[in-house]
Amino acid sequence: MNPFDRGRRGGPPANPLNTSPRGVDRVEDWPDGDWTVRMLAGGASGKLYRCPGCEQDVRSNVPHIVSWPTIPGGEEERRHWHTACWRKRLDRGPGRTRY
């Protein structure tokens, strides 16, 4: 029995979010497919992104992740997520897309 498994739907990702250094890509296996994930420290880029999980702004100075499907051409579907929103994305209600 894994003490860190809290019974999340679909189970935890194959690679927990905190195992890779920031800025390094890794692949996570989720029930809706494989996703390439990159953790970002949040810099002074000045860009503003919209989190697809909560529909709120991801400020440029906030640590967050960028993800895209691990498929040919998936890089064009990159999305910036709050880290907590990415973890909870499978729990979103019906009618919501994956990103």
Domain limits, the chain: 26-91
Per-residue confidence at 12, pLDDT binned at 50, 70, 90?
very low
Terminal-to-terminal C-alpha distance of the chain: 32
Structural contact between residues 70 and 28, judged by C-beta atoms closer than 8 angstroms: no
Q: What is the pLDDT of residue 96?
A: 60
Q: What is the pLDDT of residue 6?
A: 57
pTM surpassing 0.75?
A: no
Quick one: CA dihedral 17, 61, 36, 90, positive or negative? Answer: positive
